[in-house]
Amino acid sequence: MMWRLNQFKDNTAVIIEYGEKIPYSALLHDSQKLAEKVKDRCLVFNLCSNEYGSLLGYVAFLNNRIVPVMLDAHLDRMLLNNLIESYKPDYLWLPARMKNEFGYSVAYESNGYALLKTPYEKVFPLYDELALLLTTSGSTGSPKLVRQSYQNIQANTKSIAQYLDLDETERPITTLPMSYTYGLSIINTHLYVGASMILTQKTLMQKEFWQQFRDYKATSFGGVPYIYEMLDKLRFFRMDLPSLRTMTQAGGKLSPELHRKFAEYAAETGRKFIVMYGQTEATARMAYLPPEYALAKVGSMGIAIPGGKFRLIDADGNEITEPEAVGELVYEGANVTLGYAESGGDLAKGDERNGVLITGDMARRDKDGFYYIVGRKKRFLKIFGSRVNLDETERLIKSGFGDMDAACAGKDDEMVVFITDKTKEKEVQNFLEEKLNLNRLAFRVKYIESIPKNESGKTLYAALEKFYD
């Protein structure tokens, strides 16, 4: 079993929005009952929401060798249907309010969640070590999933719990979805140490969130860069939050100004602020900046996690050893995932990476051994913590808007979308909001007479930069 829930049976596992405390013994009981309904190893889609039903499903599946695909319950229905079509899951586990939307029969219900039986019966063989499948981003409709093994999750969980020094007195409050690798890693690590999780669907822009934070005495939260921007906007530094111990940050590079502000706040108030770095391809985490260096190393994402190792390579794949030189970041560790799946047939695949991940991130290492991300090799942006592939987004627009040409560029948290039809600006923005399941403010749609291209028809993205503003 992935987690030894029995070991903590009297501890509170979950505190739900209305304050009810669910002990580990109940989580064990509820998850075993669900697992009995599924019977044996197969594929299940878990449509996640930060509530108990979603968590008990996850625990039931992982502890019983049932393989879940973790998806956001708000995922665009067409994209979800594509995924169902590609992977043919045996069951869906979803909020009970959605149970009649699929035409599948209800096999079981528990704690506000429902188990639906699809017409599929173990269509694709599952590799023996395969534990879990996650999307790499908020999704651009690509059916690409990351294949994580039991060993990946165990190794990463243990390492994170160690460097964060977690114990059963912790009480994180959710600020991220559990279908997202960072949100899931918070759940994994706290289940591992027998701590209590405050599950809420409220956001930090709602007073109920802060009420729960204070009433249930949250000790920590995690945030992607935009969450730290919101906290700054909310004048977080003046809030009275006596139970808070630790703030962690991942999911993209925080601006050095905000990094400094939160590190100073932490230093002044005796708390920990921990900047981290990871990817779904590495289960969750590869690096962390030890909190005692938070101020001394502003802008750095730190050092490799316990059990992991970094190196930098040049364009020919040779290792770079001198400090301050920029190279592509390569990570090695037991948390490097098996590889990707693009369709159901890939679920039988074994380990394709053998513990080595070429991250696609360009980084430098200072003379003290701390790493700094300086750019990316591939064309994607991190938008509100989610990876969004620019080429896939372009394809989405082109297939949705016929003969109009389009090019996607921009910087993190702001994609600039160039289109050649002036009348379609708002339509494209609406389209992207819906398809990518991201706030419309992430996209700035701009008209351009024609997309600059080279002789072979490739878009010249650098030539678009001067039109960003």
Partner 1 sequence: MTNLEKYINAFTTTFGIGESEVEGLEYQQIKAWDSIGHMSLVSAIEDAFGIMMDTDDIIDFSSFEKGKDILKKYDVEIESV
Q: How far is CA 354 from the centre of its chain?
A: 22
Among 233, 377, 378, 453, binds partner 1 (CB under 8 A): 233
The answer to whether residue 239 forms part of the interface with partner 1 (CB under 8 A) is yes
Alpha-carbon distance of 101 to 80, in angstroms, equals: 12
Alpha-carbon distance of 276 to 288, in angstroms, equals: 4
The answer to whether residue 77 forms part of the interface with partner 1 (CB under 8 A) is no
Radius of gyration for the alpha carbons in the chain, expressed in angstroms and rounded:
22
The answer to whether residue 426 forms part of the interface with partner 1 (CB under 8 A) is yes
The answer to whether residue 204 forms part of the interface with partner 1 (CB under 8 A) is yes
Among 129, 168, 229, 351, binds partner 1 (CB under 8 A): 229
At 231, which helix (H) or strand (E)?
helix 225-233
At 184, which helix (H) or strand (E)?
helix 181-193
Q: What is the token pair recorded at 442?
A: 């992430």
> Mask: binding to partner 1, 341-380, rule CB under 8 A, as x and -?
----------------------------------------
Is residue 436 within 8 Å of 456, Cβ to Cβ? no
The nearest distance, CB 424 to partner 1, in angstroms, is 14
The nearest distance, CB 268 to partner 1, in angstroms, is 19
Among 430, 453, 467, 468, binds partner 1 (CB under 8 A): 430
The nearest distance, CB 72 to partner 1, in angstroms, is 13
Q: How many residues bind partner 1 (CB under 8 A)?
A: 26
> Mask: binding to partner 1, 104-143, rule CB under 8 A, as x and -?
----------------------------------------
The answer to whether residue 458 forms part of the interface with partner 1 (CB under 8 A) is no
Q: What is the token pair recorded at 198?
A: 């405050």
Amino acid of residue 91: Y
Alpha-carbon distance of 72 to 75, in angstroms, equals: 5
Amino acid of residue 390: L
Question: Any idea what the Cα angle at residue 379 is, between residues 446 and 339, rounded to 5°?
Answer: 140
The answer to whether residue 41 forms part of the interface with partner 1 (CB under 8 A) is no
Among 1, 78, 106, 205, binds partner 1 (CB under 8 A): 205
Tokens 């940050």 correspond to what residue? 249
User: Which residues would be at the binding site for partner 1 (CB under 8 A)?
Assistant: 203-207, 209-210, 226, 229-230, 233-236, 238-239, 384, 426, 429-430, 433-434, 439-442
